[in-house]
Structure 1
Amino acid sequence: MKTFVRLIIVILVLAVVLGGIFGWKYVQQQQSEAQRAQAPPSTPVETVRIQPQSWRAALTSVGSLRAINGVEVANEVPGVVSQVAFESGQRVSQGDVLIRLEDSVDRAALAALEARARLANETFQRYADLLPRNAISQSQYDEARANYQAAQADVEQQRAQLAKKTIRAPFEGVVGLRQVDLGEYLSVGTSIVDLNMLDPIHVDYSVPERQLERVAPGRAVEVRVAAYPDRLFTGETLAVAPSVNASSRTLDVRARLDNADHALRPGMFADVSTLAPETREVLTLPRTALSFNTYGDFVFQVVEDDQGQTIASRQQVTTGSVRGDEIEILDGLEAGDRVVATGLLRLRDGQPVSVTEQAQGRDSADKTRTVRDEKVEG
């Protein structure tokens, strides 16, 4: 009898426990269904409107800056440095003296040759007076004239040799770092200093052969260098190589840039944009507003559903050229459409959103501006 009572008590306890568990699960299920029945909370997003802009197409490339005239000044004759007439980094004019070599021996030799030339000239003049009177023969007169001319040639040769002892600037420009010292003996061809003409300056770059029609003399170019990331240098193309490089299938182009403040230096690496002569109207968005993947590019367009609720609708788009942080939209959107500007990873198609703020500077659908360095994909 006692065993039966205990069994009944155990069964009742188990029934109470299981009933409590099932009851709690039922309450949780009801709460979950109630939550799912409620509308999901809206996600705050920042939006931007797609708008037309005037883009000026440009062919981008990389190049190197070089001086219009740039040489390593060296001596033609050996000698000891007797004077250094410039300072490193100094601006010089054409013909300015850079250094002088010791020239006392050459000056003495020139004086001796000039004396011989004067004597030969006097002899020649005397024979010229005697020839009409038949006091000398024609051969003697010719010999005196030849001696005088030879003496004059020796003088000119020595003067040229002496002039080489003074090294002058071959053109106007800026000298680099001095490589020689006072009293130093220089053999022929010793590097003295670099001299570069910095204003204007050239930039050499290459373009693919298929882009030949996009480059021509007189086209405007824009150049950026790492030393001045916020500065844009402008110029124009000067010449296009007449032949294509057979190994790289590229075409060499040279452009000239204004460089009055000498900010650009030879050897600098440059990003070069060759601008097209015409502009075109395009629709653009910030690159942050697009999601790029192998299945196609898309944006989240902000629209209203049938109930009037603001949602993020996934929209497939076709993109075009890229200019900095801006990208061209070829298909999928129209001017004035509003899309989510940032934070695409937290959104899904049809998710309710609340617009908290528009991206600054792009809140007008009809705003236009000129973009001058669009990248043309090769």
Structure 2
Amino acid sequence: MPHASVSRPGFRACCAALLLLVLAACGSEGGAGGGGGGGAPAAVVTTTTVGIRPFNDRIRALGTVKAREAVEVTAKVSEIVERVHFDSGDVVAAGAPLVTLSGEQQRAALAAARATAEEADRMLQRQQELAARQLIARATLDSQRATRDSALAQVRQIEANLGDRVIRAPFAGVLGVRQVSPGALITPGTVVATLDDLSSVHVDFPVPEAHLANVALGQRITGTSTAWQGRGFEGTVSNVGSRVDPTSRAFSVRADFANPEHMLRPGMLLEIELERAERQALLVPEIAVVQVGRESFVYRVTPDSTVEQVPVTIGSRAVGMAEILSGIQPGDRIVVDGTGKLRHGSAIVEAADADSGGTEETTEG
């Protein structure tokens, strides 16, 4: 049988027609799958509408505990320790004797001064009787009265000097470690022990000047310490500093804490939380705020379902929410979840809508 012959030009025309049919079919399928557009697919995100809500945030700071009264008990004179009346850690009352110093010389001098004063007083009485009968001059009586008064003053001076030989607690409190022993020679300024009044303590802490209007006397605060995990200590603001530090731009606040169990000790670090009064604020979830360097911004949804990058100013933060001071307005819709895959102008679709659409498509298929 003779073979059919096909001309080369005809063969090329058939191949070209077949290639065009294949490309047309591929283009049709791509258009159907791309949703009618050739750009990047819409990002699936979660959005929310921002609005004004009640906000109750807190100011946080660090402070060091100080005793209500604190002093290093020292000696006034140089003398030998005769007796120590306390042990380390004792709780003492105001005026309680702590250390007695040797005072033999002072006691002997006091006895002599009292004897001199008694003799001067007897002499004054005799001269008063003589003066009443006008047997001595008035000047002689006045001179004897001055002698008697001088002797009494000498007695009081020696008694005061002898009183310095007993070191007493200036106020009620808890004593620290005992630093002297009987027989030791102490001099003025030698520390006998520390004394702290721990019935109440206070904490001084800095607060940024931006919060000056939010701090007032009597305001309640809460303090926590690593020494007492899970325990909060309630206090009140007792003083607000009259000056703002020009370097740190902060002012000092003092808070008082009742301390009946002596759990708070001087020198402890306390984390302070100062509760501010409830106010109305424009709030957004913290995860909606994107931080790049020192700048913060959010993605605001536009009417055509794209997003725009909007710089915002952040105020306080509390309980997963951030206060917005400027940048967006109440009623704006912003992206909460999915910000990591967005750029300015990106198309978006709500996660709930995407899930619903996917389910319907599967059902129809």
Is TM > 0.5 for Structure 1 vs Structure 2? yes
Residue 143 of structure 1: CA displacement?
2.2
TM-score w.r.t. length of structure 2: 0.67
For 2:48 and 2:87, locate their aligned partners in 1 and report how far apart those are by CA, in whole Å. Answer: 57
The answer as to 2:156 corresponding to 1:156 is yes
The answer as to 2:104 corresponding to 1:101 is no
Residue 352 of structure 1: CA displacement?
6.9
Structure with more relative contact order (C-alpha pairs < 8 Å, separation 6 or more) = 1
The answer as to 2:293 corresponding to 1:298 is no
Structure 2: gaps spanning 5 or more residues? 1-21, 36-42, 354-365
Say which SS state the counterpart of residue 88 (structure 1) adopts: coil
- Greater alpha carbon shift after TM alignment, 291-300 vs 80-89: 291-300
For 2:225 and 2:296, locate their aligned partners in 1 and report how far apart those are by CA, in whole Å. Answer: 34
Letter in 1 for 2:88: S
Q: What is the correspondence of 1:93-132 to structure 2 with a 5 Å cutoff? A: 93-132=93-132
Say which SS state the counterpart of residue 264 (structure 1) adopts: coil
Say which SS state the counterpart of residue 179 (structure 2) adopts: coil
Q: How many pairs align?
A: 318
For 2:298 and 2:233, locate their aligned partners in 1 and report how far apart those are by CA, in whole Å. Answer: 33
Say which SS state the counterpart of residue 262 (structure 2) adopts: coil
For 2:92 and 2:306, locate their aligned partners in 1 and report how far apart those are by CA, in whole Å. Answer: 66
Q: 1:234/1:319 Cα in 2 relative to 1: closer, same or farther (>3 Å)? A: farther
Contact 1:209 1:249 in 2 (8 A): no
Q: 1:333/1:248 Cα in 2 relative to 1: closer, same or farther (>3 Å)? A: closer
For 2:102 and 2:52, locate their aligned partners in 1 and report how far apart those are by CA, in whole Å. Answer: 72
For 1:191 and 1:257, locate their aligned partners in 2 and report how far apart those are by CA, in whole Å. Answer: 28
Match of 2:236 in 1: 235
Instruction: Calculate the aligned-residue CA RMSD, in Å.
Output: 4.6
For 1:284 and 1:258, locate their aligned partners in 2 and report how far apart those are by CA, in whole Å. Answer: 33
Q: 1:209/1:103 Cα in 2 relative to 1: closer, same or farther (>3 Å)? A: same
Match of 1:321 in 2: 315
For 1:229 and 1:339, locate their aligned partners in 2 and report how far apart those are by CA, in whole Å. Answer: 38
Match of 1:258 in 2: 257
Letter in 1 for 2:84: V
Contact 1:312 1:352 in 2 (8 A): no
TM-score w.r.t. length of structure 1: 0.65
For 2:175 and 2:221, locate their aligned partners in 1 and report how far apart those are by CA, in whole Å. Answer: 27
Residue 263 of structure 1: CA displacement?
3.2
Residue 104 of structure 1: CA displacement?
2.6
Match of 1:281 in 2: 280
Q: Give CA deviations for 1:96-154 in whole Å, capped at 9, x if unaligned.
A: 12211122322222122112211111111111112111232323222221111111101
Contact 1:291 1:297 in 2 (8 A): yes
Letter in 2 for 1:280: R
For 1:235 and 1:192, locate their aligned partners in 2 and report how far apart those are by CA, in whole Å. Answer: 34
Structure 1: gaps spanning 5 or more residues? 1-25, 356-378
Q: Give CA deviations for 1:213-232 in whole Å, capped at 9, x if unaligned.
A: 5555x251525354356525
Contact 1:174 1:198 in 2 (8 A): yes
Letter in 2 for 1:237: S
Letter in 2 for 1:328: E
